[in-house]
A and B are shown apart, each in its own frame.
Chain A
Amino acid sequence: MNNLIRLTEHGPELVSADPWTLVLTEQAPADGPRILSLTAWLQSQPEAVLNGLEVSADAVCLQPDDEAEQLQPYLAVLPLIAVLFPSFRDGRGYSQAYLLRTRIGWTGELRAVGDVLRDQLSHMRQCGFDAFAVREDKSAEGALKGLNGMSVLYGRSAIEPRPLFRRRTRAC
């Protein structure tokens, strides 16, 4: 995928040569590894992968109607999980990411794909995404400016499980 931002221990980086291709329709050609819909992934994997004995060559993309909990049995064999935002106004992906990080236990790359735009990146980051495939007609470099968002989070999130009232210093 082009136009990708990934969070690393050194901070956010623009990724120029990402090998993954999002393949949500059967016709789409792909050179290199593919990110498949959950249905296609379940149908196409060898027994060894489904039984947890072998890491899959393909990644999975959760769509808004999918239940994040369905991935629970396959965490050990998935190379990457993507979450699709068909429209940036469809907020189901935030809850899917939150559940994957805080309940289901996914620690690998969690990539936002689809209508991924600068002004939502900080919310996505807070819900646990660590990679952002910015919509292709938008500048990924510009989108970097949207990653931080605001310095104050009253509530909590996947990356900051404590609400502000448990983090507050008396000095204020």
Chain B
Amino acid sequence: MYHYDDYDRALVAERVAQFRDQISRRLSGELSEEEFLPLRLQNGLYLQRHAYMLRVAIPYGTLSADQLRALASVARDFDRGYGHFTTRQNIQFNWIELEQVGDILARLAAVDMHAIQTSGNCVRNISTDAFAGVAADEVLDPRPLAEILRQWSTVNPEFLYLPRKFKIALCSASEDRAAVMMHDIGLYLYRDAAGEMLFDVMVGGGLGRTPILSQPIRRALPWQHLLSYVEAVLRVYNRYGRRDNKYKARIKILVKALGIEAFAREVEDEWAHIKDGPAELTLDEYLRVAASFQPPGYPPQPAVDLAFGSALARDAQFARWVQRNTHAHKQPGYVSVTLSTKPGADMPPGDATAEQMEQVALMAERFGFGEIRVAHEQNLVLPDVAKADLYALWQQACEFGLATPNIGLLTDVIACPGGDYCSLANAKSIPVAQAIQQRFADPELLQDLGEISLNISGCMNACGHHHIGNIGILGVDKNGSEWYQLTIGGAQGKQSALGKVIGPAFSAEDVPEVIAQLAEVYREQRLGAERFVDTVERIGLAPFKARVYPAQEARA
């Protein structure tokens, strides 16, 4: 992973001192709350329903064991013993005192971490594939360019007061695991026949109130122009994006209003001025950053591991976990392991206790090379595990509640913190997620249903990415009570699609049974190994609606 140098450390340390000073001026009343608000947001600090929430940046979801221990210590010493991993591959702490934020940030700075630009109307954490650098289907490692983008967008003075938040993701595998098409800028990185690194640049994606998938703005952009091209997009957006209505301020609205061709012309005109200037990336810089991401020296593994094979044959639960929770690795004899943070009713999706974080840090050291990833599905990933170590790892993960074999299944619910914490939410997310997990606790049923993504957002802001869940649940407020609107057919990845609303909203108590009915329709209608989302695509919404709203269908 990326190794900080003196510049990186100086910036983070100075930022801690700067924000400490701003906090003390807020506490003394010298800064009004209105003046303080964007400052604290750009340092990851929200004011929620009960307390401050601090969102700490995990650049493109990559952590060292020591960094994860530091997060555990923050959870233990400054929060209530747990943290919540987010869909932007970050972590947030929900019970923070303003007076302690400086000390928390100093503790994080000591392990080269920060909370810079995890909120606010600026460029947010750069995100990518949780299996970046190790996935078998990867074309090339996106992390060096993600780090270069992270540095360039950090405290870039021209772009700190954009019309609205700005999210960038990149991916370079045949499967898009970074939800690239729902980002303000999405980057697909690949090599041409001559081996040159190129980008397809997508622009104008985003969820929220007006969900839109991004559109291509430039194909085959040579990698040297990454920063100048992103700068051109941001300058056009900063100048012309709407500022009169926060719900119409994302770049997707500007792209839609101008049309992609006209928007692209603006960007290309701007880019023509700067493309060959000093923002052009150098091979030296690429190599300097890439040096941090060299693969570890993988000890060679035997072609056939008899002990692993016999454990698979002997222990069906282990075999199920291996099948669901491991991902193919570039290196023979290795896999990536996903540790599920979705055990069901015991813990809200994405939450991990301080003890669990410490255990994961130990597992990463014992069974990997001391590295951990955060997936945008809110699970934790150990990227490099030898197959020979899987059984021991699994046993340890079981002991600490991290081995639920449900990755990609219906109970691998993606959920925002919802009305339990968030002051924006219209409805709670966590109890609904837990009720659904309980309804589908039967592992046989769960396995039989196969891959289904289920996403829950407590409001239109769509932090739970409900639009791109195969099943999406949106909390809505009707006359002061909480209701849930369902969509089906959403998908992420290169075949991204926005889900369609199936009809009127349901009460929280009804949601699990309605999901069960949707699952029943799928089981009756599926052809062969067809996934839920494929069945929805093939047969449309009508059979699902007919089951869920029988009375209405009868009337119609």
Give residues in A with beta carbon < 8 Å to B. 64, 88-92, 94-96, 98, 103, 117, 119-120, 122-124, 126-127, 142, 149-157, 161-166, 168, 172
Contact = CB atoms under 8 A, between A and B. Distances in A.
B301 interface: no
Contacts of A88: 35, 38, 161
B331 interface: no
B235 interface: yes
A142 B35 CA distance: 15
Contacts of B153: 155
Interface in B1-33: 5-8, 10-11, 14-15, 18, 22, 30-31
B276 interface: no
Nearest to A142: B30
A126 B152 CA distance: 15
Given A90-B161, A95-B239, A154 B277 contact: no
28 contacts: A88-B38, A90-B161, A91-B163, A92-B239, A96-B239, A103-B273, A120-B161, A123-B158, A123-B160, A126-B157, A127-B157, A149-B157, A150-B18, A151-B10, A151-B11, A152-B14, A154-B7, A154-B155, A155-B227, A157-B157, A163-B227, A163-B278, A164-B151, A165-B284, A165-B285, A166-B278, A166-B282, A172-B6
Contacts of A149: 18, 157
A89 B281 contact: no
Nearest to A91: B161
B310 interface: no
Contacts of A164: 7, 151
**Which 10 pairs between the two chains have the least Cβ-Cβ distance?**
A91-B161, A123-B157, A165-B285, A152-B11, A126-B157, A154-B151, A172-B5, A150-B14, A172-B6, A155-B156
Given A152-B11, A166-B278, A94 B158 contact: yes
A25 to B, nearest CB: 21
Contact of B277 (A95, A119, A155, A161): A161
Contacts of B156: 154-155
Interface in B187-207: none
Interface size bucket, B side? 35 or more
Nearest to A171: B6
Contacts of A168: 7, 288
Nearest to B240: A92
B388 interface: no
A163 B156 CA distance: 10
Nearest to B163: A91
B132 to A, nearest CB: 21
Contacts of A122: 157
Chain B at the A interface: SS class: helix
A10 B237 CA distance: 36
Given A64-B243, A157-B157, 9 more contacts: A89-B38, A91-B161, A92-B238, A142-B30, A150-B10, A152-B14, A161-B277, A164-B151, A172-B5
Contacts of A153: 155, 157
A172 B235 CA distance: 31
Given A89-B121, A92-B239, A119-B35, A165 B7 contact: no
Contacts of A98: 158, 235
A165 B161 contact: no
A157 B14 CA distance: 19
Nearest to B153: A155
B505 interface: no
A172 B6 CA distance: 6
A151 B22 CA distance: 17
A117 B161 CA distance: 14
B35 A162 contact: no
B274 to A, nearest CB: 9
Interface in B151-177: 151-163
A91 B159 contact: yes
Contacts of B11: 150-152, 154
B12 to A, nearest CB: 9
A165 B150 CA distance: 13
A76 B121 CA distance: 36
B449 interface: no
A95 B158 contact: yes
B508 interface: no
Contact of B278 (A91, A95, A156, A172): A156
A53 B53 CA distance: 59
B279 interface: yes
B264 interface: no
Residue of A90, A91, A96, A98 with most chain B CB atoms under a 10 A cut-off: A91
Nearest to B30: A142
B285 A91 contact: no
Interface string B275-302: 0011101101100100000000000000
B39 interface: yes
B152 to A, nearest CB: 5
A154 B154 contact: yes
Most buried by A among B157, B158, B278, B279: B157
Contacts of A124: 157
B219 to A, nearest CB: 25
A69 to B, nearest CB: 11
A68 to B, nearest CB: 9
A160 to B, nearest CB: 10
Contacts of B121: 89, 91
A96 B239 CA distance: 8
Contacts of B5: 172
Nearest to A98: B158
